[in-house]
Structures are given as C-alpha cells and as structure tokens.
Structure 1
Amino acid sequence: MSTFFLLLLAASIVCLIIGLSDPQNFRKWFGQNINRKRIALIFGGLIVACFILTGAFAKPSSNKPKEESKPAATTQETQTPKVETKEETKTEEIVFQTESKNDSTLEKGQTKVQQEGKNGTKELKYKVTYTDGKETGRDLISETITIQPINKYSPDWHERTTQGLYFSTILWRWIL
C-alpha cells in the first residue's frame, strides 16, 4: 500500500512542477478558469495527503531497544599460571687448543709434537623457570671447570732470514 502512495506522491510532484510552469496544459481537465494558484492548491494538497496516508499505513516500528546479545557465560575460570624454578646442572666439554711456535733447530718441513692435547670438562649450573610446565627462563648461576684442558704443543720449523738485517744495514748507511 505504501508503494501506491509513493507513486502518487511522485506523480503529484511532477504535475505540480508542470502546472506551475505552464497552467494551459491543465485546462482540458480542470476547465478554463485554472491558474497557478489553483494548481498549487490541488497538487500541493495531494502531496500533503500522500505524506499523511503513507505515515498512517506504515508498519508500526517497535520502540523497544534491542537486546544486546550477551556472551555465553564461561564455565572455566581463569587460572593463575603455575610458576616453578629448578636448578639444573649440565656438563660440557672444553676443547683443547693447539699451540705452534717456530723452532729453528728443526729441519725444513719438520714438526714435532712435544705435548699431546687433552679435552677438559666444565660444570654449568642453571636456574630454570617453568610456567605451566613450559620453560620460560634460564639463568646461569655458576660455571666450574672440573678438568682443565691440556693444550697440544708442537713447534714448527722456520727459516732464519737475514734480509731484515741486510736492509736495515743499508738504510743506516744511507741515513748516516
């Protein structure tokens, strides 16, 4: 029903505009004594009637505020995280290093191992924090060397050179 009134309203507005611009077009339907004032009263009244009737036949809107949907109540309560700290000990190997020094007493290309190397061990103590069973932190408390590593010592042959001595002698002669 409201669609009918909307079409009637649109037609009334169109007729009002045409009638006010050229009232001669409506003499056929309304007679010889039609003027702009009468056209304005007829179609203006029709427009007002359409507004009133559209409002009268419109579906009543509910003025009740909509209920907001509330989230479902959770059955689980939030739990505080369980935090534990433990002390852990870990043993690591210390790798020995190889020391090599030049030895002019050896023959060319010869190397001689004077001391074999041996790895050492160290003990590391950690304070480990667990939250709900998962590791969340690890702090080193102490580091103790239990067995000292023994470095490997093997001297290498090296050639004695006199080039530096020769060059410095020439340089001093030139300066003096």
Structure 2
Amino acid sequence: MKRGATREEIIRTTQELIARNGIRAVRVDEIAQMLGISKRTLYELFADKNDLVNTCLDAMNRQQQQRIAACRRRRAGNPLQRIFRLANEYIDDLYRVDHTFLSDIRRREVFAGRFDGHRMSWHKELVTGLEACREQQLLLPDIDPEAFADRLMSTMLELRLNGSECEELYFFCRTILRGAATKHGIDLIDRNT
C-alpha cells in the first residue's frame, strides 16, 4: 500500500467522493487511482464497493451523532430556540452532501437501512424538543410532536432533493414552526430569530 493510503484515508477519500458525487457515480477504480493504490489493495481491506460505502456511511453516522450531541449540550435559550438550532443543524446536514447522495442512499435497498437510522436519530431529537415546546405551551396543544417532526423532516428532504437553496429551508422551517406555535411561542420566535 502506498504510504499514507491507510484504511482511514481510503474511508475519508471515499466519503468525500460519495458526498460530492453520489454513491452510484463513484467507482472503485477512481478511488484507487486518487489514492495511488491498486484495486487489489483496496479489495484486501474491503470486500466490495458496498462494504466500503457502508463503512463510510458508518463514519458519517458517527459524525452526525457528534453534531446532534453538540446541539443537545447547547441548552441555552427556550425550547423553541433549541428546536431552531437542531432543525438548522439538520438542514446543514442535508447540504453537507450532494442531493444525488441523498437520493442514492434513500433508494438503494442495500443502504436504505443506514438512511433510516440516520433519519431516526434526527427525528428522535426533534420529537424531544417539540415535546418540551408543547409542555411549555409554546406549540399548539393539538400538535403531535412525532407526526410534526416526521412531516417537517420529510418535506425538508424533498425540498432539498428538488433543488431548494439552504436558506429557503431555513425560512420554510421558521414559517412552519411559527404556524404551529401559540401566541407566546410566536412572540418568542419573532423576538429571537
């Protein structure tokens, strides 16, 4: 193996390529060439392309978990402010990768479980935050946090896949949360965002 072409470097390089070009567009030949190693060397470390991609998706999931934990640790502000920070982090996460990557991971059966796990981590955090908002009467009482989080995330993903700009999603999210807020919640949103 070429000096510096460690397993970690292979994962990092592949992760960058699939995030930028999508899973289907990345070829093992391309990865090996970029790293100056042979395909054979790559296959000594990974069973096949799916094994390599799954390893990259696991690394991406760990990074996502770190971002979610960082949001959780920033407890300053009211529950609506925390929801905005979390939702904005989710939106940023959608824009860390090209839309083709999101489409590939969502539609390829071999990777769909990873997509679902990724989505459920965000969903769980949003539901927790929305429940806190509802407990403090910042959201309308008939808002179901689980259904609301699911619909919000699904809509933001679809907007991302259809070419919306990041700023549009921030505005969309603010508008939807404002529409679900009580009068007191609306006052907090208008004052703080």
TM range (shorter): under 0.3
Structure richer in helix, relative to its length:
2
Structure whose alpha-carbon radius of gyration is higher:
1
Structure richer in strand, relative to its length:
1
Larger RCO, structure (CA 8 Å, separation 6 or more)? 2
